[in-house]
Structures are given as structure tokens and as C-alpha cells.
Amino acid sequence: MQRTAATGLLLAADAMLPAWARRWPELKQSPYNTSDKINSFEDITTYNNFYEFGTGKKDPHKNATEFNPAPWTITVEGECDKPGVFDLEDFITPGALEERIYRLRCVEGWSMVIPWVGFSLADMLKKFEPNSKAKYVEFTTLLDKSRMPGQKRRVLHWPYVEGLRIDEAMNELPIMAVGLYGEALPNQNGAPIRLVVPWKYGFKSIKSIVKIRFTETQPQTTWNKTGPTEYGFYSNVNPTVDHPRWSQKKERVIGEAFWKPKRETQMFNGYGEQVAHLYNGMDLKKYF
């Protein structure tokens, strides 16, 4: 955007808005950005998995319009020296925000490339001073049937819970996303704040987070509880480990014509250089 006196005023006004309503037109670019073709705003916001708003791909777009993600607090607890209840605003340091263009590879066999706005998960977690017993980090989505109507149906164990090993969480790649396409996160994409872990299947990237807990033992995650033989704790993108009911070798790129060949799925979604060392010596068929 070209800056003029008028846009300057607009941006100043924008900075006074709550985080969930903001726009960030000029963001620093991350060195980890993929140069793959970015999906359209429409693809990204109308083809979603967010079971709290329905199980169909179009449901979150239709059913999350009334959801009001403000005010929003996040409770931080467990094995750390600086726990507390924080406002969303406490997490968003404007200078730390950047655009991270990552491919989201869903376990169902499709993918899309999303220009997230976010900040480093590791930088955020360090502020809470995890102690030596903090071996894992658990994340929890809001539980509120009146605001998330999909929770009235027992399709999953509510609230949605996800987790990472502490060294995975402290890697440079995961971000807490608060926006996409330079604007505040649309409700269907996990407003006002969600996790994005680019080398793992999309379901690890939990939406609308209200709690972060440092734990000594491996968290019980929603999909792992729902189908332990189908969804492991690690859930690394891995073309050599099939889902019990389908292959993970290829993926359909959302937005591409159906007749186009599928894309070959890459190990760790293409981030082996940054993350393969985290799994040295581990049998990734056993720890899938």
C-alpha cells in the first residue's frame, strides 16, 4: 500500500482497534516463506476444518459469522515460573509480527498455501519461563456451546486439545497466527489466535486458543483420543507412513483444477532441514 497522509491516519486509527479487528498492511517477511503459489482469500476462508462450527468444509464459513472473538483471554499454567491470565493484546507485540507463508497439509490429503500473520511461538513461550519439568505444551480451544454450536454434537471430545513436545514448540517454525492476508484472522480460520505448525498435519494447528499448559507428561490430544490408530501424537507430514485408510504420498492442491495431477507430499512438508533433527533415532512408523 502506498502511504499518504490519509492512509497514515487510517493506520493510526487501525492501531487503536482491538487486535482481532486490525489490519497489518506492511509486514516483515519471514525467511521461511514458501515461494509456492498462494491460495486465494476465498479458498482459505471457505474450505475449512473447524468442527466447533460444523463438520462440512463450508460450515465454518456459514456458521462462524456471529462468533465474537472479543474480549479474549488466554490462561497460561502448569510447569512454568510466570503463569497467569493474559489478554490477547498482551501477546501481540507489533514489531514481532511477520508474514509467514506456509503450506497447510491436511491429513485428509489436500493442501493450500496461506499467508499467515503471526509471531514466533517459541518467543512467546519463553516469556512464561517454563521450568525443567516442562516436557510438553498443551493447547486448548474455547469450550462454549452457545458460541460454538458444533460443540452441541458429540463428534469429537470437547474442548479440542492439541500438544507439542517442548523442543518442537521451541523450534523456529511454529507461529501463533493472529491474521492472514494482512488482516485479522477470520472466525472460520481460528479467530482470534491459533497455532500453525507447518511440518505437521493441519489438525495439530489448533484454533481459537484459550489455554496453554506446560506439562511433564504427553498431553491427551483430541484426535489421538478419537482415533488412536489413525491420529498419532506426532502427526508429522510423512509420505512414507500411510493413514490406515488411505495413502499420504500425494495431496490435492485446493484451487487447482481437478484434472491437474496431485502434488507429491514432501517429508515434514518440506521443512526437513529445520526439523528432522528433532526426531533423530525415533522410529517414525511407531511414533506417527
Is residue 207 near ligand MTE by the rule CB under 6 A? Answer: yes
Backbone torsion region of residue 39, taken as left when φ is above 0, otherwise alpha when ψ lies between -120 and 50, otherwise beta: beta
The Cα–Cα gap between 253 and 113 comes to 9
Stretch that binds ligand MTE, among 18-26, 50-58, 76-84, 255-263 (CB under 6 A): 50-58
For ligand MTE, how many residues bind (rule: CB under 6 A)? Answer: 17
Is residue 49 near ligand MTE by the rule CB under 6 A? Answer: yes
CA torsion through residues 229, 235, 241, 247, sign: positive
Given 120, 189, 221, 224, the residue binding ligand MTE (CB under 6 A): 189
Nearer to ligand MTE by Cβ, of 53 and 119: the residue is: 53
**Residue nearest to ligand MTE according to CB distances in the complex:** 202
Q: Which three cell numbers stand for residue 192?
A: 482470534
In contact, 18 and 126? CB cutoff 8 Å: no
- For the bound state, the minimum distance from the C-beta of residue 192 to ligand MTE, rounded and expressed in Å, comes to 13
**Helix or strand (DSSP H, E) at 115:** strand 110-120
- For the bound state, the minimum distance from the C-beta of residue 277 to ligand MTE, rounded and expressed in Å, comes to 26
Is residue 151 near ligand MTE by the rule CB under 6 A? Answer: no
Nearer to ligand MTE by Cβ, of 106 and 184: the residue is: 106
Is residue 203 near ligand MTE by the rule CB under 6 A? Answer: yes
Nearer to ligand MTE by Cβ, of 190 and 198: the residue is: 190
Is residue 48 near ligand MTE by the rule CB under 6 A? Answer: yes
Given 34, 141, 236, 238, the residue binding ligand MTE (CB under 6 A): 141
The Cα–Cα gap between 81 and 115 comes to 34
Nearer to ligand MTE by Cβ, of 14 and 252: the residue is: 252
- φ, ψ of residue 188 to 5 degrees: the values are -65, -15
Q: How many CA atoms lie within 13 A of 80 on its CB side?
A: 22
Side chain identity at 254, as an amino acid letter?
I
Nearer to ligand MTE by Cβ, of 14 and 144: the residue is: 144
- φ, ψ of residue 243 to 5 degrees: the values are -65, 145
Q: Is the peptide bond before 71 cis (omega within 30 degrees of 0)?
A: yes
Given 19, 101, 104, 113, the residue binding ligand MTE (CB under 6 A): 104
Q: Which three cell numbers stand for residue 237?
A: 507430514
In contact, 96 and 123? CB cutoff 8 Å: yes
What is the contact surface with ligand MTE in residues (CB under 6 A)? 48-52, 104, 106, 141, 160, 189-190, 202-203, 205-208
